[in-house]
Chains A and B, each alone.
Chain A
Amino acid sequence: MSVLLIAEHNNKNLKPFTLNAISAASKIDAEVHVLVAGSGCESVAKEVAAVPLVKKVLLCDSPNYQNYLPENLAPLVTKNADKYDHIVASANTFGKNFMPRVAAALDTSQVSDVIKVNSPDTFVRPIYAGNAFATVKSNDKKRCVTIRPTSFEPAPKTGGSAQVEKVDAVDVPNFSKFVKREETKSERPELGTARIVVSGGRGLESGENFKLINDIADKLNAAVGASRAAVDAGYISNDHQVGQTGKVVVPDLYIAVGISGAIQHLAGMKESKIIVAINKDGEAPIFSIADYGLEADLFKALPEFLSELNKLNTIQK
């Protein structure tokens, strides 16, 4: 009666969302085992073993898993699934990619994007882009579950000493090949985990004007987000997109500038703790969910905002 969680990492370090997934997994069953599959990833296994909630680490170190191709990873997970009632991963592009392959191989119906664990077989998950919450019960014997990382607190990282057990690689099908990965480099905090997010929409009118957003973000040590409209208009690249078709963020402070508040955008940010809206259209839907709304021309308000921030003696980091 235990949980097998699949760790996300880059062969050197554990990705932070794995810690959120571990805490979600521990709510399903206290016996959480973590599979670390990668190439030269022993340091990741050590990192996972130190997480107190983890009871055992399965390490599969093989070139087969260097780039986490789902065609290679899924058979390894399936092979190790025998002893477990639950197979769990984060519902980000890592987990979404391989988990349904595991579920299909086990002939089990996956429960995606869980935001709350009610019991080992009953979960809450958003549907219709978060406009409704469904409580679902899985009647499968073995359950494949992906969890929305931002809905769970990260597990503490140190103090544990789980045993690390090596497991063998399995044959790979050799019909897919990793070519390259272009990671977006930024000096700013990562959008998915930042404490503060400053987002711009179509109201910015151009890519150059995003400098106004960037300046505020730098002052607040915030990540920069954008609405789909701003991305589609070419003002900023897609990895900044917040919403149903982009990232779901839950920062302490979300500042939406020149964003009207389309359903698809709200789906990605409405769980933020404090929401600020700056928009010249006082009727914009974004105001209906904002804690603080400022009806103003952003081209005047943003420079003023920056100068007011500059007047503060201290700003939380």
Chain B
Amino acid sequence: MKILVAVKRVIDYNVQIRVKEDGSGVHTDNVKMSTNPPDDNATEESVKLKESGKVKEIVAVTIGDDKAQETVRKALAVGADRGIHVKSDTYIEPLGIAKILKKVVEKEKPDMVFLGKQAIDDDCNQTGQMLAAMLNWPQATFSSKVTLKDKSMEIVREIDEGLETVEVNLPAVVTCDLRLNEPRYASLPNIMKAKKKPIDQMVAKDLGVDITNRVQQLKVEEPPKRKAGIKVANVAELVSKLKNEAKVI
């Protein structure tokens, strides 16, 4: 079997983002970037399935500018076999990304597509579900346990009420939650080896799909600041403040 895993380059999750004063977005110059965290879980799960012997090949794909290749290299360093970089210098919204990924799926014909459940920059939580719909495939979102069978997968999903188990026929799209697994670090020898693995290049606007953004970003601003309150000296004062000042208990 073959897995396509999609990875995205985003501002590192430990970075406190700064909003640009002109309201056009957030600062990205000289800011640490890394792979979107749940995309690392998607790669890790793919590699585990390959190690179990059920999967023969993993192809890692990213869509973005030249530097986005780093995310593919990282996936190659932890076990993906080859990469695809679809080049785009401008932001493409999830609908357009899903259309590009559909093209890649039609070319690569994987049995499964793994993605993170959500990107931590635009927080859309759409791409995997949209791709599944466009391919007319089933989907399993927010996955925290994946069991691969001959022609299907049984998947435990994290839902608001607790856990839900579904079985989806292959081919299918899986979006991964952070609790699915513990992504491994790439070893130095594997990082060196990854440099020799092939990465195919494509250009987003040459793929023949409409990737015009339909949602226009008018402005980006800082959320209203919460003013720091006071420190209380002891528990008795805290309870008294909550009872008499804030009136919440």
Q: Which residues of A contact B (CB under 8 A)?
A: 69-71, 74, 92-94, 96-105, 107-113, 122, 125-140, 173, 175-184, 192, 196, 220, 238-239, 244-245, 247, 252-253, 263-264, 270, 273-276, 282, 287-296, 301, 304-305, 308-309, 312, 315-316
Check if B214 sits within 8 Å of A140, measured CB to CB.
Answer: yes
Check if A288 sits within 8 Å of B228, measured CB to CB.
Answer: yes
Among residues of A, the one whose C-beta sits closest to the C-beta of B122 is A127
Check if B179 sits within 8 Å of A238, measured CB to CB.
Answer: yes
Q: Does B121 sit within 8 A of A, measured CB to CB?
A: yes
| Supplied contacts A98-B129, A316-B248, 15 more A-B pairs, CB within 8 Å | A71-B139, A100-B126, A100-B133, A104-B95, A104-B134, A112-B123, A125-B123, A128-B26, A132-B17, A132-B222, A177-B166, A263-B16, A293-B231, A305-B238, A308-B239
Total number of B residues with any Cβ neighbor in A under 8 Å: 79
Residue in B124, B162, B167, B243 whose beta carbon sits within 8 Å of that of A183 in the complex = B162
Residue in A92, A101, A109, A292 whose beta carbon sits within 8 Å of that of B132 in the complex = A101
Measured CB to CB, the closest approach of chain B to A306, in angstroms, equals 9
Check if B242 sits within 8 Å of A253, measured CB to CB.
Answer: yes
Check if A181 sits within 8 Å of B159, measured CB to CB.
Answer: yes
Check if A109 sits within 8 Å of B121, measured CB to CB.
Answer: no
Q: How far is the CA of A131 from the CA of B122 in the complex (A)?
A: 11
Residue in B14, B123, B249 whose beta carbon sits within 8 Å of that of A309 in the complex = B249
Check if B220 sits within 8 Å of A109, measured CB to CB.
Answer: no
Check if B159 sits within 8 Å of A315, measured CB to CB.
Answer: no
Measured CB to CB, the closest approach of chain A to B100, in angstroms, equals 13
Check if A176 sits within 8 Å of B133, measured CB to CB.
Answer: no
Q: Does B235 sit within 8 A of A, measured CB to CB?
A: yes
Measured CB to CB, the closest approach of chain A to B229, in angstroms, equals 4
6 interchain residue pairs of minimum CB distance: A100-B129, A291-B229, A176-B138, A104-B133, A101-B133, A179-B165
Q: How far is the CA of A126 from the CA of B221 in the complex (A)?
A: 10
